[in-house]
Amino acid sequence: MRKKSYMNLCIKAISGSLSEAEQDVLDKWLNESEGNKQEFEQLQNTWTSITYNLENSVPNVDLEWNKLHHRILNESKSTVHETKWYQALPNILFIPAYKPTIAIIALIFIIAVYFTQIKNEFSPVESVSTNPGEKKTIILSDGSSIILNYSSSIQYPEKFSEIREVKLSGEAFFSVSKNTKRFKVKTVNAIVSVLGTKFTIKTVENKTDVFVKEGKVNLNQLSSDITGVNLSTGQKSFVLDNMSPSKPEIVDSGEALGWLNNVLTFNHTSLHEIKAELERLYGITILIQKEELGNLTLTGSFKVDMPVDSTLDMVCLALDLKYEKLPGNYVLSTK
């Protein structure tokens, strides 16, 4: 159901004309998020304030015009500050002589302005995902571009409003257009903030890695109030679980960006991490027979278009291991 349909249900609920079936639909929508409940409460409080004034005031035309004149003079001298239209509405409406008529007009006005407001504040959310071995390029409304790596997904608004924010699971390369508004990327446990730069983010389970190709990036733990770490060109950092970001270090761009050229590059990478990467690339399940084997490390490069058996042959040769292909998975073990 579209946003406007839910708002219609909110208005009918406030006016007392909601059917039982419609009430069930509205209740379900309200329970989906706190934001939905807040929107309904704000709209309800606004209407309550208006109807209260209508029922408890005696109209005095001269007095109301004097109040308006006084308010205009005061507001012209005061500092302009941003106020939601529905918060200011009860204070600027006149008390009418014909209550029923003005009540209908006020309600129509609320609906019209509210729909205009939410059109500007809310934008449909797009969701893009990739399959194993697949990459996609996405162009955002601000001109920024994203290359989404295999087995990854990203969510972003169809059109940015006051903030530029996306949510990533997996791996992606960002080329962010310069703008006065910060561009933010949220992962499962971290948040990256920039103004305009090029960088890559990779999330695997409870770890978020960030490498900066160009410009500056701020990396922070998702729920932290501290500043986080600032990364410059060629630097890398990561957030593990709910810990603070690691100390920035300079790394070879080929290692961090090799996947853009269809190359997997490992540098003293543990077999556990290699396993996770190959599972994402090929869409398979790999089992390590003994847990301690996951601590073995490997340095080397592999073409992502190689067959899975060829890649596992090379990994096992380098680590003196063997693998067995079983229905639904591969098992790595010692020779």
DSSP label of 114: H
pLDDT of 64 reads 52
Residues 133 and 109 in one domain: no
What mean pLDDT is reported for the chain?
Answer: 82
Q: Return the higher-pLDDT residue of 65 and 201.
A: 201
Residue % of the chain over a pLDDT of 70? 74
Residues 134 and 228 in one domain: yes
pLDDT of 79 reads 46
Write out pLDDT tens, residues 274-305: 999 999 999 999 999 999 999 999 999 999 99
Residues 48 and 75 in one domain: yes
Residue 297 within any structural domain of the chain = yes
Residues 231 and 293 in one domain: no
Q: How many domains does the chain have?
A: 3
Look at residues 199, 217, 252 and tell me which one is the last residue of a structural domain: 252
**pLDDT for residue 229 is more than 70:** yes
Residue 237 within any structural domain of the chain = yes
**pLDDT for residue 78 is more than 70:** no
pLDDT of 58 reads 47
**Order of all β-strands in the sheet with 249-250:** 136-139, 145-148, 171-175, 198-204, 207-214, 235-240, 249-250
Residues 109 and 138 in one domain: no
Residue 13, domain extent: 3-121
**pLDDT for residue 151 is more than 60:** yes
**Order of all β-strands in the sheet with 164-169:** 125-129, 153-157, 164-169, 183-186, 190-194, 217-221, 229-231
Residues 140 and 207 in one domain: yes
Look at residues 86, 121, 156 and tell me which one is the last residue of a structural domain: 121
Residues 221 and 296 in one domain: no
Q: φ and ψ at 181, to 5 degrees? A: -90, 130
CB 332 within 8 Å of CB 288: yes
Residue 257 within any structural domain of the chain = no
Residues 234 and 313 in one domain: no
Task: Please compute the mean of the pLDDT values over residues 127-148 and round it to a whole number.
Answer: 96
Write out pLDDT tens, residues 17-73: 778 777 887 788 788 777 778 777 777 776 665 544 444 544 554 555 565 556 555
Residues 144 and 182 in one domain: yes
Residues 145 and 243 in one domain: yes
Q: Return the higher-pLDDT residue of 47 and 320.
A: 320
Residues 272 and 247 in one domain: no
Look at residues 121, 146, 175 and tell me which one is the last residue of a structural domain: 121
Radius of gyration from C-alpha coordinates of the chain: 28
Q: CATH number for the domain including 229?
A: 2.60.120.1440
Residues 24 and 102 in one domain: yes
Name which of 87-91, 231-235, 318-322 the model is least confident about: 87-91
Task: Please compute the mean of the pLDDT values over residues 304-331 and round it to a whole number.
Answer: 94
Q: CATH number for the domain including 304?
A: 3.55.50.30
